[in-house]
Every structure is written in structure tokens, then in C-alpha cells.
Structure 1
């Protein structure tokens, strides 16, 4: 006699395969990743913008606005403060040290802009030529730009040290030019230009890279056509290459001008603005006023003037150079 199956002891029936051999669907929940993606897709667009705006407001916007407010106060960095109106700016106009720093800043910027971009262009023309090891030369020339400015300043202090036989004076003596040996950072007439030289050494390779990008964007067909028409090397550069380098020149002039006007690291590490005030810049003045003399209100006034001056120079320069790009 056939017996019935004992369903009470055999346990729950397992789902069998569906028709066609496909596994039967179970009631398991959807994967967590799918649920998360669905939930993210329902977030409004502003939810992705707000975190970035908060960071910008805390890191950039608030300090900038606070600096503008403090420029009109006598704040010492701690405690309460009182509004003094335009007194900080009047003090700036009568501060001989600050006025000398303006002159030093402009001279330093002019030297850096002219020499750095001139050397950068020559280096770019050299490494753009079809020579061996040009890739290695590009790396060598650009390498100083990635070094910390403070480290560069300490390196050049070693080079400029008048008692260092392996430094600049030692090299001049070995070449029979001992009469040119100087106390490069200790001479008030040379300190500013010695700082300019180390800045040019560090960033000439940076300008080279930008000029090199411009050179490589010049179509070779234009040079070939000019060569066929009888144009010499100088004529091809003057009438073909140079006009097409206008965008690269604009970028380099803007970056070097802004960098020169804000220059602080190399000056502070190499000379601390000395000897005396011979290499003082606006950036070192505002730093000392804040952290040495405790005049945070006056320091922020100097910083505000510097920021407005940099912005004005940059806008005028950009407008002129952009117009030149169009005419070129």
C-alpha cells in the first residue's frame, strides 16, 4: 500500500526551478547599492552645492569680509577693538617704511617680470628645437618651480654667503673675478636684486613650460610657408611665432606680475626685509605689523591696499594684453 508523505516532519517545501530551468524569484530585498542609488537620485540639486558653498564661505568669504572690517579698527589681534575710520590708511600714507616697501615691491616685480619671462622664452625656444635630451632639459629647467620657496631661499643664502668658498664668491674668485665678490644679501644696494635673482631662477622654468605650450601650438605649415617665401629665422619668429604666442605671453605676464606684487616667502626667509628696510616689501610689512608689532588693524589695512592694487594692475594688464591678442 502506498503511504502519504509525512509533511509534518519533512519541513517547508523548497522552491523548485521555474519553467524553462530558470530559478524561481524569491522575496529577498533589493541590494543596498540599488536602494542607495535610488535615494541619491531623489536629492535636489542644491544638496550637492551647499557643502562646497559652506566651505568657501568659512575658508574664503568670511576671512575676506572680516579683514575689510578690521582694516577700519585698532584691533590688536586679541580682545575688543574700536572703529577708527580711515586712520589706518592715513598712517599708511605717512609711514616711510611702508612707502619704501611700495617702491621695493614695484622694482622687484618689474625685474622679475622682465627677466623671468625673457629667460623663460629663451629656454622654451631652446628645448623646442630638435635636439637630443630635450625632454631631460625640460625636467631640469622646470624642477626648481616645484621646490618650496623657503627651501630655495635657504639654498641661495648658502650660495650668497660671502664666507662660503663653494658659493658665488668662491666661483668668482676661481674664475679670476675676485674683484666682483660682494656681500650679496648684506649690502643694502644689492639685497633686493639678489632676491630677484633667486625668484627668477626658481620660476623661469615655469614660464618656459607655458611658452613651450604656445610654441607647440604653432602650425608647422606656417613656418614652412614662410621659409619657402624666403623668410629668415628672425623674420619667422617675428611675424609667425611671436604673434601666435600672445595667449601664452598674457598668462605668463599675469602670473609673474601677481606673484611679484605678493612676494613674501623668499624675501622673509632670505633677508627678512633687510639690511634695514632695503628689501622690505608690502607683504613683509603687513606680516610684521600683525605678528611682530601686534597691529592687526593696521596690517589688514595694508593688506587691503595691496589686494586692491594687485586687482587693479591685473585688470588693466589683462585688458591690454587681451586687446593685443586680438590685433595679433
Structure 2
């Protein structure tokens, strides 16, 4: 009897772990290697990216301080390659062309892309077809696009034919062979091909703008421009940051369009740092000098990307 009472008391006062009666819960097994597989599954890709991108960039940065020709031995020359760059007027001109194409293409393509995105953000029946048409140049090969535009800008091409047909024969000229206009032909091709990319980014940003805010601003008496400047534009500030950053990076390293249209000519009028890197490294065999140009271009891209992100960083103000 006593043993029975003690047993019952034990069951009440000292319950089993888990706070419930019933069969004992099976202990989980020790986490195996597969539990942490989410990081080592990606290890081969991470190693490949590190070797191809970062290690190769570091090696190229090292050769920027040498006189290596691409074959054989080399000597360490310190900052001599960079001194030669800033003492060479053609390299200074290439730097100016690089900056001009980068910033002009960013401004024009972003303005055009935002305008198209605002227009297609309305309830147009044909907006899906128009989106495809405006985005199509982005997916086309830059070389193919450039050769088509080179035919258009040819002296006997469609552009001069149209000018002659409307009585403007005096404006006809060899556009890609004219030192004054060649850089503008390159800019037109870049803007035409990049506008669709900016449009897609801005359309994604506009889709996140609450309609109620615009309606409230319209009720308060704000006109179309005021609603855009004070409501829409602050709301798509992250999209502006992304579009301008990618535009600057792509503009600073433009290469295909220049090589297809002008190959850096005429008389170096369209040379950029990217084309000079190619010519110095692979055409002239000055690999160390070309690596110095590439390193300079990398630092410029990094600097402008950081500054641009700093300027456009922030959250839209909440009303």
C-alpha cells in the first residue's frame, strides 16, 4: 500500500521530461554534413570566381608596375607606366572621351528610359508590345547593332539619303569618318541600346509607387509635374541609383561599339581607355603599359560607382 502511494506521488510531483505522459520522444540525430551543405555546395563556384576575377585582377594590377611585353622576363618599373599615361596627350584624350561617353550616355539613356517607363506605366492596350520593342536592342549583340548603325551613318547610307531627299544635302557627311561627329555617332548607338535597360529598371520602380499617394497629391491641387517631382521621383530613388550606377559602369568600359564603328578613329577622336588597353596590350605588345591603363580604368569605375551610390543612397520620405 505504501509503495503504491509513493509511486503515485512520484508520478504527480516528479513528472517525466517533456511535461507529458506517453511514449518517449526519439532524440534527433546529430547534424550530419548535409545539414551544412548550403555553403560548401557553392564552394567550387566561389573558388572559380575568386581565381578568374579577383586573382586575375590582382595579377594584372601587379603587371601594371612592370615593363612586361607579354612574353619572357619583365622588370619592375614602379609608377613609370602611370607617369607615361598622364604625359601622353592621346591617353588624356582617351580619358576625356571615356568620361564624356559615360556621363552623356547615362544622362540621355536614363531620361529617355524614365520617360518611356512613365508612358508605358499607363493603361495602354499596346504597352506589352511596346515594352518588348523598346527592350529588344538590349538583348542584341553590340557588334551587330554597331555594324547596322555604321551602315546607317555611311556616306552613301540611309541617313544621308534622307537628308538629300528633304533638301538638306549640305548636312550630309561621312559621319563616322568625321573627327567632330564620330564621337556623337558612338554616343547615339550607346544610348539607343541602353535605353531599354533603364526603362525596365524604372518600370519596376514605378510599380512599387502607391497609387493613393499620387491621387492624394492630385486632390491637393498638384499638377502633373509637381506630382512627378515631389511624389514619383522620390519614390523611385532606389531605381534611379541602380540605373545610373550600372549606366556609369557600362559607359566607362564601352568597347564593342567603338571598335565596330570607328576602331578609335578618325585620328584618335573616339579612343577610350578600354580601346587603348586592347591596343597597347594585344596589338603593340606593351602588356605592362596596357595593364596600367586597365588598372586606372578600374579605379575610375570604382570611384564613380562609390560616389554615385553615396549621392543617390537613401530612402524615399514617407508622407
CA distance in 2, matches of 1:296, 1:187: 31
Per the normalisation by structure 1, the TM-score is 0.83
Q: CA deviation at 1:260?
A: 0.9
The 5 Å alignment of 1:1-328 reads 41=34, 47-164=40-157, 167-323=158-314
Partner of 1:26: none
Unaligned ranges ≥5, structure 1:
1-37
Q: CA deviation at 1:48?
A: 2.8
CA distance in 1, matches of 2:121, 2:167: 35
CA distance in 2, matches of 1:306, 1:142: 28
How many corresponding residue pairs?
289
Query: What secondary structure does 2:214 align onto?
Result: helix
2:113/2:199 contact within 8 Å kept: yes
Q: CA deviation at 1:89?
A: 1.0
CA distance in 1, matches of 2:193, 2:238: 22
Rg larger in 1 or in 2?
1
Q: Deviations over 1:90-135 (max 9, x none)?
A: 1111111111101111111121011111111111111112222111
CA distance in 1, matches of 2:36, 2:205: 44
Q: CA deviation at 1:323?
A: 4.4
Query: What secondary structure does 1:62 align onto?
Result: helix
Partner of 1:12: none
Q: Deviations over 1:143-162 (max 9, x none)?
A: 00001111111110011011
CA distance in 2, matches of 1:162, 1:168: 8
Q: CA deviation at 1:46?
A: 6.2
Unaligned ranges ≥5, structure 2:
1-30
CA distance in 1, matches of 2:88, 2:50: 34
2:238/2:315 contact within 8 Å kept: no
2:146/2:261 contact within 8 Å kept: yes
Q: Which moved more, 1:114-123 or 1:228-237?
A: 228-237
Across the aligned residues of Structure 1 and Structure 2, the Cα RMSD in angstroms comes to: 2.1
Moved over 6 A (4+): 42-46
Distance change (3 Å), C-alpha of 1:325 and 1:286: farther
